Structure 1
Amino acid sequence: MTTNTRSTTNVNAAAVATFLIFGMNGLVFASWAARIPAVTEALSLTSGQMGTLLLCTAVGSLLALPSAGWVVGRIGTANTVRVAGIVAGAAGAAIAFSLMAASVPGTAVALFFFGIGIGLWDVAQNIEGADVEHRLKRTIMPQFHAAFSGGAFLGALIGAGLSQLGVGLPEHLLVIAAIAVTLALTVPKYFLPHEVEEIHDGGAAAEKGPTAWRDGRTLLIGVVVLGATLTEGAGNDWIAKAAVDGLGASESTGALLFALFVLAMTVMRFLGGKAIDKFGRVNVLRASMAAAAVGLALFVFAGNVILAGVGAALWGIGAALAFPMGMSAAADDPKHAAARVSVVSTIGYIAFLAGPPLLGYLGDHTGIHLALLAIGAPILLALLLAGVAKPLPPK
C-alpha cells in the first residue's frame, strides 16, 4: 500500500510538473509569435524576409529534433528540459539585444539557437507527457497541450497589452527569458524518476531505425500530425500579421485575434480528453480537421474583424486535439513509446516550424492573407488518413 501510494504521488507530481513545463513552453513561443509584426517593422522586413528569419528558427529545430530522442535517452527528460531551457532563454536574450541593435544577422543567429532550444524542449516534454499518460491510464495528453496553449494565450495577451502600452519587444523578451530559465531549471525535478533507463532503450531503437522510423503506422501518424501542426503553426505565426495586412487591423487587434485562436485551442484541449474517451480518437480527429478547414476558409474570406474572429476561433478548435492525439497514438505500445513519440514529434515539428516560413515566401506573391489557403491541402490529407490513429488492441 505504501509503495502504491508513493508511486501515485510521484506520477501526480510529474503530471503537474509536465503541465507547467508545457505552459512555459507556450508562453515563450507566443511572446515571440504575437509580436512578429513589431519585428517586421523594427527591422523593415517584407513578409518573405520575415519568413527567412522564421526559417532560421526552423533550421535550428530541424537540426535538434532528429537527435532529441538520443539526447533524452542519454540524460533523461528532466535534464533535456533544463538544457533546452538554458539554450532557449539565452537565445531569447540574444534576440532582444539584436533587435535593440536593429541587426538582422544577429536576430537570425539568435533565432537559430532559439529553434534548437525549443526543439529539444518540445520532444522531451512530449515523451514525459506520454509516459505520465500511460501510467495514469487515462487520456491526459490534450490537457498538457492545453497548458501549452494556455501559456501561449497568456503570452499573446501580454504581447497585445505591452504593444498597446508601447513597451518594446526587447524588454519583453528579456523578462520572459529569465522566467523560462528559472522554471526549466527547477520544475523538472518532479519528473518521473525512471525516464533515463526506460527512454534510453527507446532512444537506441530510434537511433538504429527499424523500430520507429521504419514502422508504417508510426510514419502515417506522423503525416497526420504533420498536417495538424502545419495548421497550428501557420495560425501561431501568421494570424496576427494576416489580420494587419488583409483586414487593415491594428497591431494590437491582430495580436488579439491571435489570442482568440489560442484561447479556442486551450479550451478545446482542456475539454478534449472527455470527448476522445466518449467518441473515439479517430472520430474526434476527423471532426477536428473538418473544423480547421472551415475556420481557415472563414478567416481568409471574412470581410471584417468579427467574422475573422469567428473563423480564428473555429480554426483554433480544429487545430487543438490532433497533435496530442498523435502523441497518444504513437505511445499506444509502451515498449516502443519513447522512440515512436520522438519520431512523430520530429515529423510534426518539421511542419510546425518549416511550414510557416514557406507561407511567408508565398505571401510575397499573393499576400499572407491568401497564402494561408495553402494549408488546406495538408488539412484534407490529415482528414483522409485519420483512421491510422485507431488505438492498438491490448496485448
Structure 2
Amino acid sequence: MTAAPARASERSTTDPAVRAASRAVFAVFVLNGFNFSSWAARLPAVRDGLGLTPSRIGVLLLIGSIGSLLALPLSGLLVTRLGAPRTVLGFAILNASGLTLASIGVAAGQVAVVGIGLVMYGVGTGVWDAAMNLEGALVEQRLGRTVMPRYHAGFSVGTAAAAGVAAIAAWLQVPVVVHLPVVVVLSTLGVVLAVRQFLPTPTGHGASAQVGGPNLHAPSEGRLRRAFGAWLEGRTLLIGLVVLAAALTEGSANDWVALAVVDGFGKDNAVGALTFGLFVTAMTAMRFLGTALLDRYGRVVILRLCSGLALAGLLLFALVSEDMMWLALVGVVLWGMGAALGFPVGMSAASDDPLRAAARVSVVSTIGYSAFLAGPPLLGMLAQHVGYRHALLAIAIPVVIGLGVIRAAAPVRANLAQ
C-alpha cells in the first residue's frame, strides 16, 4: 500500500494553472541554484582578489550561512503575511543585491563590504528557499502526485549551468564584479516572470489553506505564537532530524569529496572535480527518478532505501583501500543517490497540513540548514586528525539517527490511520 501525498481531485491534476505553477516553481528552483553556484564557482577569484587564507575565506563563507540561519525561523511568518510570490521575489532581489555588493567589495578589496553583502545574500537565500518550498508543496498537493524531488533536481540543474557559465567567465578573465551582477540581474528577471504563474494567494480565511499559514487577519501575537509553536511539535522536530541527516549527507560531499579523493587516493584535482560531478549527477538523477518511486512505494519505504544507500556509499568510499578507486566511485554513486530525497521529502512532510505548513517548513528548514553551518568546520577539524576520508565516517551517525525516525515523515492521514 503506498503512502502517497493526499490526492487532489482529478480535475485539479489537469488544471492548466496548476501545471503552469509547477513549471514556475521548477524555474525558481533552477534560478536559486544558479545564483548559489555563480558565487561558489568564483570563490578562487574571490580569494585571490581579497588575498585571503583558507581559514579566512572559511570565516567569510560562515557569515553568509549565519545570515540564512537567522532568517529562516521568521520565514514562515513572512510567507504567511506576504504570500509565496511576493516573498520569493522580494528575497530573490535581496539575494541578488547581496551578491552584487559582495562582488563590488571583491573589486575594491574590502572584506567588510563582502561580508555585509554575504549577510544580505544569506538572508535572501534562506527565506527564498523556504518560500519556494512552500509553494512547491502547495502545487504538489494540488497536482495530487509527488513532484518536490523534481523541483530540487532543478536546483541541481541550476548549479551545473551556473558552474559552466562561471568556468567560461573565469577562462575569459571576466572580473567577478562584472560576471556576478550580470547573471543575478538576469536570474532576477527570470524570477519576476516565474512568480506571476504561482498559484494565487487569497486573503481572509482561505489564505490559511493556500499559503500554509494562519489567518492573515489574526492578531500579530497569535501569528507569532503559531509560527514559533511549531518548535514544540514532536513530529515536526523528528522530520527536522530526517532533513538534518540528509543535509549533512549532501553537504559533506559538496565540501569534502573532491579533497578526500585528492588526499585520500592520491589523485589529481581533475579527478577530484570529476568525482564531485559524479556525486551531483547521481543525486540529480535520483531526484528525477524519485517522484515515481515515492508515488508507488511511499515516503517511508523510499527514505529508508535512501538512508541505506547513503550509509553503504559512505562506508565504501571511506573504507576501501587506496588502490580500489573504482569501488570508491561506486560508493560515491550510492552516496549521491542516498542523499537525494531526504530534503525535498522533508519539505513535503512538513507541509502535509496546509494550515501549519509555513511554520513547520521554517522549523524544518532551520534545522536542515544548521547542518550546512556546523557540518563543514566540524568535519574539517576531524579531518586534521584522521584524514578527509575517515572524517566522513562521522556522517554515518546522523544517517542512522535519521533512519530511526523516518516514520515521522509518513503522510499525516497515514499517521492518523495507524
The aligned amino acid for 2:214 is: D
Q: Is the 8 A contact 1:37 1:251 kept in 2?
A: no
State the shift of 1:220 in Å: 0.5
Question: Is there any run of 5+ residues in structure 2 with no aligned partner, and where?
Answer: 1-10
Q: Is the 8 A contact 2:239 2:349 kept in 1?
A: yes
1:271 paired residue number? 289
- Structure 1 window deviating more from structure 2 (384-393 vs 196-205): it is 196-205
Instruction: Return the alpha-carbon distance in structure 2 between the equivalents of residues 195 and 145 of structure 1.
Output: 26
Q: Tell me if the contact between 2:13 and 2:143 (Cα under 8 Å) persists in the aligned partners.
A: no
Does structure 2 retain, via aligned residues, the 8 Å contact 1:36–1:241? no
Deviation larger for 196-205 or 94-103 = 196-205
Match of 2:407 among 359, 368, 387: 387
Counterpart among 84, 87, 104 of residue 91 in structure 2: 84
Q: Deviations over 1:350-393 (max 9, x none)?
A: 22344224434444555555443332221121112212212222
Q: 1:50 to 1:136 in 2, by over 3 A?
A: same
What letter corresponds to residue 129 of structure 2 in structure 1?
D
Distance 1:79 1:350, change over 3 A: same
Task: Give, in whole Å, the separation in 1 of the partners of 2:44 and 2:395.
Answer: 21
- Residue 106 of structure 1: CA displacement? 3.2
| Mapping of residues 261-340 of structure 1, within 5 Å | 261-301=279-319, 303=322, 308-340=328-360
Q: In the superposition, relative to structure 1, how do residues 102 and 231 fare at CA in structure 2: closer, same or farther (>3 Å)? A: farther
Deviation of the 1:252 alpha carbon: 5.2
**Distance verdict in 2 for CA 1:25–1:98, change over 3 Å:** same
Of stretches 202-211 and 181-190 in structure 1, the one that deviates more from structure 2 is 202-211
Decide whether aligned partners of structure 1 residues 307 and 25 sit closer, same or farther in structure 2, where only a CA change above 3 A counts: farther
Normalised by the length of structure 1, the TM-score is 0.87
Could you tell me which amino acid in structure 2 is paired with residue 192 of structure 1?
Answer: L
* TM-score (norm: length of structure 2): 0.83
Aligned-partner SS, 1:191: coil
| RMSD (Å) for aligned C-alpha atoms | 3.0
Give the residue type in structure 2 aligned to 1:273: T
Q: What is the CA distance between 1:249 and its match in structure 2?
A: 5.2
Which of 46, 63, 67 is matched with 2:70 structurally?
A: 63
- Cα contact 1:160–1:256 (8 A) shared by 2: no
Identity within the alignment, %: 46
What amino acid is the match of 2:379?
L
1:21-47, CA deviations, whole angstroms, 9 ceiling, x for partnerless residues? 011111222233345455455555555
Q: 8 Å contact 1:48–1:364 — kept in the other structure?
A: no
Q: Which has the larger radius of gyration?
A: 2
Question: What's the CA shift for 1:336?
Answer: 2.3
Match of 1:343 in 2: 363
Count matched residues: 392
Q: Look up the match of 1:259.
A: 277
- Does the Cα contact within 8 Å between 2:13 and 2:144 map onto a contact in 1? no
Offset from partner CA, 1:16-71 (integer Å, 9 cap, x none):
11010011111222233345455455555555433322211111001110111111
2: CA distance, partners of 1:159 / 1:238: 21
1-structure distance, mates of 2:177, 2:389 = 27
User: What pairs with 1:172-211 in structure 2 (closer than 5 Å)?
Assistant: 172-194=179-201, 197-198=207-208, 199=211, 200-201=213-214, 207-209=224-226
